[in-house]
Amino acid sequence: ERGISDMMVIHDCFAVHATHAAALSTILREQFVDLHTPHRLQELKMQFERYGPALPDVPERGDFDISSVLDSEYLFA
């Protein structure tokens, strides 16, 4: 969709031609934010409780703004 025609993926490593490095960097940040925005632990708790007893409350989230990753210089996931 973003004009990257050649991309190589091995496990959790991604590679593109140097001309597409900036686009890949943006895409990875966007996907990281999309992946970590929902409260996954709360979702998992709710799924388990459908089939078993109530579980303890999940810890509250901190105050880190995950969207700040979009403007970061580096991203290590």
pLDDT in tens, 40-61: 999 999 999 999 999 999 999 9
Position 35 confidence tier, pLDDT thresholds 50, 70, 90: very high
Candidate ranges 3-7, 8-12, 15-19, 70-74; pick with highest mean pLDDT:
70-74
3-state SS, 7-60, equals EEEECCEEEECHHHHHHHHHHHHHHHHHHHCCCHHHHHHHHHHCCCCCCCCCCC
pLDDT at res. 58 = 95
Which residue out of 6, 12, 63, 65 is catalytically annotated? 12
Is 6 known to be catalytic?
no
